[in-house]
Amino acid sequence: MSRNKTSRVNRHGGERHLYMKVRSPRIFCFSCLRHLRTAGKLFLIGAFLGVAIWGVRSGLREFFAENEEFTLRHLDVETNGELDAEHFTEVSGITPGSSIFALNLGNMRERLLSRPSVEQVHLSRRLPGTLRVRIEEREPVAWLECRPLGIIGKHPVAGILLDKHGVCFPCEAWWEERSADLPVVLVSQVEEGDIGVGKEIRHHQARKALALLMLSKEKLKGTKWSLPVVAVRNDYSLEAATNTGVMATFGMEAHEEQLKNLVVLMDATERKGESIFTVNLIPKRNIPVIPEVAGSPQWPRTRLHRDIEALLRP
């Protein structure tokens, strides 16, 4: 006979737990005291670390920043332009007699780079008392004149200089002497945004005039004359003046060939004892030339010619 189970045991029943939290004023006071002791220890540790850090910083400042051995005594300035140690001191705001460790090189670098005439700056300390300065400046190749904007060529205050990339920047004090004899790009009509300090000039014809000036420096070497002024005449031509008073009209392209033709014409007229009044170099053949005749009316004949003549005066 099989055995029948008379009882059943539930082995998988859930366990029951009873949580009790006892609260009393005495227990609460002990808990607060425990937390206060922990906070007091952390405060003491923080205060100790703060005093230690302050002491270390004070000691380092006294040893480095206030130590006469590290007083700035020499400026080693190297630049591709004209900025010397005297001008660097004025621009950077260095305090005479300060320690080289008290100098904030980051702020000095930002102050220098904020000047549009400066491209790159590298500053470093050389113990015991030397500050090494390496500066890359924008080298001016021409002046810009635009009377409607109040920009006057060859004026150290109201003038604007151009580098070989067409970037505009003011004439710094250390560039005044060297830039006095630079040629001028003359622009009479501009639109908003064409010219901005610290930016490349966006005026298309003015960029063509600058390109002509830079090319003339190369192609006119060995000649007795040069192109001190190139003006934007209109959308398709430029008006250039030689230092001998010849007015030459150039196109926007083929400047190298036009300069060659001008050199040939100038040499030919000089051999004949004659001189040119105006010449239009845009045609490739049968170039129109008006000779200068004694007693005939001389330019300026237009507002553009008057502006060019004013720039040619010493």
User: Could you give the CA distance from residue 156 to residue 220 in angstroms, rounded to a whole number?
Assistant: 27
The pLDDT, as a whole number, for residue 14 is 53
The pLDDT, as a whole number, for residue 129 is 82
User: Residue 249 is encoded by which pair of tokens?
Assistant: 């009209």
Mean pLDDT for 24-37 is 70
Lowest mean pLDDT among 9-18, 29-38, 86-95, 150-159: 9-18
Indicate if the pLDDT at residue 159 is higher than 60: yes
The domain segmentation of the chain, as residue ranges, is 68-137, 142-312
Indicate if the pLDDT at residue 154 is higher than 50: yes
Indicate if the pLDDT at residue 70 is higher than 90: no
Say which residue, 52 or 279, is predicted with more confidence: 279
User: Could you give the CA distance from residue 200 to residue 269 in angstroms, rounded to a whole number?
Assistant: 39
Mean pLDDT for 193-198 is 92
Q: Using an 8 Å Cβ cutoff, are 266 and 216 in contact?
A: no
Indicate if the pLDDT at residue 1 is higher than 50: no
CATH code for residues 142-312? 3.40.50.11690
**pTM of this structure:** 0.76
The pLDDT, as a whole number, for residue 36 is 74
> What integer best gives the mean pLDDT of the chain?
84
Taking alpha carbons only, the member of 223, 209, 275, 277 closest to residue 247 is 277
Summarised one tens digit per residue, pLDDT across range 253-282 is 999 999 999 999 999 998 888 888 899 999
Q: Amino acid identity, residue 73?
A: R
Residue 79: Cβ within 10 Å count: 17
Say which residue, 73 or 185, is predicted with more confidence: 185
Taking alpha carbons only, the member of 133, 130, 121 closest to residue 85 is 133
Indicate if the pLDDT at residue 188 is higher than 60: yes
Q: Using an 8 Å Cβ cutoff, are 48 and 41 in contact?
A: no
Indicate if the pLDDT at residue 17 is higher than 80: no
The pLDDT, as a whole number, for residue 121 is 93
The pLDDT, as a whole number, for residue 58 is 55
Lowest mean pLDDT among 116-125, 171-180, 297-306: 297-306
Q: What percent of the chain has pLDDT over 70?
A: 82
Residue 142: strand pairing partners: 162
Summarised one tens digit per residue, pLDDT across range 201-226 is 999 999 999 999 999 999 998 899 99
The pLDDT, as a whole number, for residue 300 is 56
Place of tokens 């910083």: 57
Binning pLDDT at 50, 70 and 90, where does residue 171 land?
very high
Alpha carbon 135 to its chain centroid, in Å, reads 11
Q: What is the DSSP string of the chain?
A: -PPPP-----TTPPP---------HHHHHHHHHHHHHHHHHHHHHHHHHHHHHHHHHHHHIIIIIT-GGGB--EEEEEESSS--HHHHHHHHTPPTT-BTTS--HHHHHHHHHTSTTEEEEEEEEETTTEEEEEEEEPPP-EEEEBGGGTB-TT-TTT-EEE-TT-BEEE--GGGHHHHTT--EEE-----TTS--BTSB---HHHHHHHHHHHHHHHHTTTSS----EEEE-SSSEEEEE-TTS-EEEEESS-HHHHHHHHHHHHHHHHHTT--EEEEE-SSSSS--EEE--TTSPPSP-SHHHHHHHHHH--
The pLDDT, as a whole number, for residue 15 is 60
Long-range Cβ contact pairs of 284-290 (< 8 A, separation 24 or more): 284/257, 287/261, 289/265
Length of the chain in residues, anyone?
314
Most confident of the following: 53-62, 99-108, 139-148? 139-148
User: Could you give the CA distance from residue 82 to residue 78 in angstroms, rounded to a whole number?
Assistant: 10
The domain defined by 68-137 folds into: Ubiquitin-like (UB roll) (3.10.20)
User: Could you give the CA distance from residue 144 to residue 179 in angstroms, rounded to a whole number?
Assistant: 12
Indicate if the pLDDT at residue 160 is higher than 90: yes
Say which residue, 2 or 134, is predicted with more confidence: 134
Neighbouring C-alpha atoms within 13 Å toward the C-beta of 249: 18
Mean pLDDT for 13-17 is 57
Q: Using an 8 Å Cβ cutoff, are 205 and 177 in contact?
A: no
Mean pLDDT for 278-287 is 92
